[in-house]
């Protein structure tokens, strides 16, 4: 599947030239996405990365799935994209931490916070994986026209448009070689993923 050059860090497992593509759409404040993230880290990455059974055969792309019915969803996805811009090698590390700590950014905990305060919390979280808070905050500051967004707004627009044109509405959602595979569940563990890949990989 397509991935604009500035979003290369969203390829979180496998080789860029792997013939099969697994696109996984996650929302940082979705509990089911949080469960799926654990499977990505403990099951899929070991299978797809160097030395894994499907090394060179399958690549995995993280797809930002903004769900605007959660007020902080947009802010958390801006943060993920900021991490990708500042420290590409730490994008997944930051994303995984954010998904593990997602309850801090749920609707009620953030309901009394301003956008500036939410972004400050996201920048503070970034320091836990070694990303500069100052540089992070700079990317998440409104500073162009009164309605021009932040420095990663263009990347955010791209990810949202990509979801819309592919008919993705909820998280997590999964594409295999560009087609939705509705049987995939956030509750899948090693057995289910190994069976799925054994049936799908043809190279």
Q: What is the DSSP string of 19-59?
A: SEEEEEEE-TT-HHHHHHHHHIIIIIHHHHSTTSTTTTTEE
- Look at residues 131, 162, 172 and name the one whose alpha carbon lies nearest to residue 140: 131
Domain segments of the chain as ranges: 5-200
Mean pLDDT of 138-166: 94
**Residue 39: CA count within 13 A, CB half-sphere:** 20
Mean pLDDT of 90-115: 98
Task: Give me the sheet containing 20-26, strands edge to edge.
Answer: 11-13, 58-64, 20-26, 173-176, 179-180
Q: Please tell me the CATH code under which domain 5-200 is placed.
A: 3.40.30.10
**pLDDT confidence tier of residue 198, bands split at 50, 70 and 90:** very high
Mean pLDDT of 100-119: 97
- Look at residues 60, 55, 57, 63 and name the one whose alpha carbon lies nearest to residue 33: 63
End-to-end CA gap in the chain: 17
| pTM beyond 0.85, yes or no | yes
- Look at residues 170, 202, 156 and name the one whose alpha carbon lies nearest to residue 10: 156
Percent above pLDDT 70 for the chain = 100
**pLDDT confidence tier of residue 2, bands split at 50, 70 and 90:** confident
pLDDT over threshold 70, residue 1: no
């Amino acid at each position: 599947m397509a991935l604009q050059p500035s979003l290369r860090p969203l390829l979180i497992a496998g080789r860029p030239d792997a013939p099969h593509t697994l696109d996984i759409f996650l929302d940082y404040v979705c509990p089911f996405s949080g469960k799926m993230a654990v499977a990505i880290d403990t099951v899929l990455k070991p299978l797809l990365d160097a030395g894994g059974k499907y090394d060179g055969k399958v690549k995995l792309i993280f797809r930002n799935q903004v769900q605007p019915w959660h007020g902080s969803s947009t802010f958390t996805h801006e943060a993920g994209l900021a991490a990708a811009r500042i420290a590409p090698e730490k994008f997944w590390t930051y994303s995984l931490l954010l998904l593990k700590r997602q309850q801090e950014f749920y609707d009620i905990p953030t309901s009394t916070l301003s956008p500036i305060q939410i972004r400050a919390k996201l920048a503070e979280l970034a320091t836990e994986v070694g990303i500069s808070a100052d540089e992070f905050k700079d990317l998440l500051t409104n500073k162009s026209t009164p309605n021009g967004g932040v420095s990663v707004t263009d990347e955010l627009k791209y990810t949202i448009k990509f979801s819309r044109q592919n008919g993705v509405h909820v998280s997590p959602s999964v594409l295999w070689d560009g087609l939705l595979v509705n049987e995939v569940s956030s509750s899948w563990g090693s057995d289910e993923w190994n069976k799925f890949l054994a049936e799908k990989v043809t190279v």
